[in-house]
């Protein structure tokens, strides 16, 4: 009997560097080892009470499909939220999605044909690669450097990457996984390229409020990009509500909006209770204070984690402007995944170890990120300090073990 084969598209997908090592972490826990999870962007901060109360108080007798583009009340509440930020969106310019991931998936599907190219600053959120692959697109990386804090290279270098197949520029700001917050001049430069070369600009902005230095510049603040800009967003981070799976896509381009509407109809509807929870949160008089308190905690965690990381001999990192990640380089490591596995399989100190996300799969360029890691500051400050102490000990043990292997 002939062997059934999966699709070439599925074969080409890579496992998530954020979740791929989870079985090893689970095995370590079964051995009684405590694992500090610095690998995943899952905050430990409670979701605001008004959101949860809105879910519990929802008067739903029949849990029917919600409208494909979102409940009207949700869209209005989200438009009001953006208006508070100076972003004016009409009701028919915003669509509720199942998280931010569906939003940038829809953005790619609505704007790019198979074989088209998408410019993305690297390192980048790995799901950008996954959805680009599923859509038949080729990622053209805009390489950024840890020594520059992962800010964009000169505009001329980016423009040289544009070809007749280039269709869009995709980025997050502030960025996952680096925490870089692009300046207004940097975004304005991308805007000029988009207008000059007739490109779409897809801006992923779920960390907007989590900006500690400078300002978070939205792609929607550039009037010249009215037909080019696609805003992607999610409530996962600013509300510590990753499991709610509520995001949105906003655009003033009517053709893009109509195309995404069709995609929404194919997938039927976004979650109902979570939309009602969001409405309750945004109508609560204290919603801005709730977000500000979450931001305050992450700001303090950033400073604590950065100071702790700087105590590790040889570490290379820059203090990020936003989000809740720090990308770090350990020059003494030549295989970031091997080191991450070592921490989970072969190392513990006082019954504790650390889980980090290996850096290579945050890049499209082969060979990049082999000595880099993403570290998420999603734990309380004392836990972050202890996690870095364990990480420092693990690094020393790994280097010593590799030296022993080489000597043999």
Q: Average of pLDDT values for 150-173?
A: 98
Q: Average of pLDDT values for 236-255?
A: 97
Q: What is the pTM of this model?
A: 0.95
What are the two backbone dihedrals, phi and then psi, of residue 202, each rounded to the nearest 5 degrees?
A: -105, 110
> What's the mean per-residue pLDDT of the chain?
96
Q: How confident is the model at residue 91 (pLDDT cuts 50, 70, 90)?
A: very high
Using CA atoms, how far apart are residues 43 and 208, in angstroms rounded to an integer? 16
Q: How confident is the model at residue 402 (pLDDT cuts 50, 70, 90)?
A: confident
DSSP state, 304?
A: H
Determine the pLDDT at residue 350: 97
Using CA atoms, how far apart are residues 42 and 61, in angstroms rounded to an integer? 32
Determine the pLDDT at residue 9: 86
Question: Where does 126-218 have alpha helices with state H?
Answer: 126-134, 155-159, 184-197
Determine the pLDDT at residue 405: 65
Per-residue pLDDT reduced to its tens digit, 166-206? 999 999 999 999 999 999 999 999 999 999 999 999 999 99
**C-alpha angle with apex 139: 361 to 211, nearest 5 degrees?**
65
Is residue 407's pLDDT more than 70? no
Determine the pLDDT at residue 235: 97
Domains of the chain are 12-46+288-402 (3.90.1150.10), 49-283 (3.40.640.10)
Determine the pLDDT at residue 260: 98
Tell me the CA distances in angstroms from 25 to 36, 47, 56, 393, one per residue in order.
10, 25, 34, 18
Per-residue pLDDT reduced to its tens digit, 348-368? 999 999 999 999 999 999 999
Per-residue pLDDT reduced to its tens digit, 119-130? 999 999 999 999
Using CA atoms, how far apart are residues 306 and 65, in angstroms rounded to an integer? 45
């Amino acid at each position: 009997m002939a062997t059934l084969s999966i699709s070439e598209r599925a074969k080409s997908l890579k496992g998530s560097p954020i979740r791929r090592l989870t079985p090893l972490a689970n095995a370590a826990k079964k051995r009684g080892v405590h694992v500090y999870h610095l690998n995943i962007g899952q905050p430990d901060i409670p979701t605001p009470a008004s959101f949860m109360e809105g879910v519990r108080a929802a008067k739903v007798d029949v849990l029917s499909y919600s409208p494909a583009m979102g409940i009207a009340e949700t869209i209005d509440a989200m438009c009001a939220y953006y208006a508070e930020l100076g972003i004016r969106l009409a009701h028919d310019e915003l669509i509720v999605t199942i998280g931010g991931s569906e939003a940038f998936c829809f953005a790619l599907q609505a704007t790019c044909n198979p074989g088209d190219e998408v410019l993305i600053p690297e390192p980048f959120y790995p799901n950008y690669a996954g959805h680009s692959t599923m859509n038949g697109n080729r990622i053209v990386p805009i390489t950024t450097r840890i020594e520059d804090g992962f800010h964009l290279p000169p505009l001329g270098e980016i423009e040289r990457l544009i070809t007749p197949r280039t269709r869009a520029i995709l980025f997050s700001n502030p960025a996952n996984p680096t925490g870089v917050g692009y300046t207004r001049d940097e975004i304005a430069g991308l805007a000029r390229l988009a207008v000059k070369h007739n490109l779409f600009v897809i801006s992923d902005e779920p960390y907007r409020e989590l900006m500690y230095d400078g300002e978070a510049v939205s792609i929607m603040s550039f009037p010249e990009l009215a037909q080019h800009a696609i805003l992607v967003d999610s409530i996962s981070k600013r509300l510590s509500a990753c499991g709610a799976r509520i995001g949105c896509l906003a655009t003033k381009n009517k053709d893009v909006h109509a195309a995404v509407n069709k995609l929404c109809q194919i997938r039927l509807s976004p979650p109902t209770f979570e939309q009602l929870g969001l409405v309750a949160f945004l109508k609560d008089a204290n919603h801005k204070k709730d977000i500000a308190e979450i931001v305050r905690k992450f700001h303090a965690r950033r400073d604590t984690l950065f100071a702790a990381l700087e105590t590790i001999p040889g570490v290379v990192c820059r203090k990020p402007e936003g989000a809740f990640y720090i990308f770090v380089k350990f020059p003494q490591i030549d295989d970031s995944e091997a080191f991450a596995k070592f921490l989970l399989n072969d190392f513990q100190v006082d019954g504790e170890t650390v889980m980090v996300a290996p850096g290579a799969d945050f890049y499209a360029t082969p060979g990049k990120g082999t000595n880099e890691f993403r570290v998420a500051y999603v734990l309380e400050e004392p836990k972050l300090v202890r996690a870095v102490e364990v990480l420092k000990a693990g690094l020393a043990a790994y280097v010593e073990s590799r030296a022993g292997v080489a000597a043999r």
